[in-house]
Amino acid sequence: MKKALLLVCLAAILLTGCRVDLEAERAGLRAADQAWSQTQPNLDHFMSYVAENAYTLLPDADILQGKSQIRNAWSGIFTNPGFSLKWTATHVEVAADGRTGYTIGTWEMTLQDSGGNTLNRTGKYITLWQKQPAAAGGQWKVVADTAVFDSPPAMP
């Protein structure tokens, strides 16, 4: 009888320990998305949120695969004299296993064109995140990111 009770208690402890606190994971993912949005103008810090094998789909550009291609694309944007990028997650979801999630939101970017004119663009985004194993720090990393414009650019 004591053995059976011990096994039931052990099973309850193991099952309880395997549950994922989805609210805590959503809050953590929202915090990661917000922290990532505040990394400019530091490209190294910006890229620290991106997984090695990530994909980025930017408007009017080829699919970027891997951290090196993504860094190259963003380095050109980050060096634009008028560059500014802000985004805010409006929806955050985490899968039941607590290891994958996505953020959806709105963004605003400011750049200068070749004539020095300021261009403002707005749009929406969706970012797919994956939580790294605890041994690798347990941080959320971007595995796929895409953005769309709200409207075409204004014609000069």
| Phi, psi (deg, nearest 5) at residue 19 | -70, 145
CA quadruple 113, 118, 119, 121: dihedral sign: positive
Cβ neighbors of 65 (< 8 A, separation 6 or more) are 53, 54, 55
What's residue 40's pLDDT? Answer: 86
Residue 104 lies in a domain: yes
User: How far apart, in Å, are the Cα atoms of 12 and each of 18, 19, 24, 126?
Assistant: 10, 11, 22, 38
Range of the domain at 94: 18-149
Q: Are 126 and 102 in contact (CB under 8 A)?
A: yes
Residue 13 lies in a domain: no
d(CA 141, CA 125) in angstroms, rounded, equals: 16
Buried residues in 19-44 as b, exposed as e (16+ CB within 10 A)? eeeeeebbebbbebbeebbeebeeee
For every one of its 156 residues, what pLDDT tens digit does the chain have, with 9 covering 90 and above?
A: 555 544 444 444 445 456 899 999 999 999 999 999 999 889 999 999 999 999 999 888 899 999 999 999 999 999 998 899 999 999 999 999 999 999 999 999 999 998 999 999 999 999 999 999 998 899 999 999 999 999 876 665
Residue 115 lies in a domain: yes
pTM over 0.75, yes/no: yes
CATH number for the domain harbouring residue 61: 3.10.450.50
**Which of 147, 149, 148, 137 lies closest to 51, judged by CA?**
137
Count of structural domains, the chain: 1
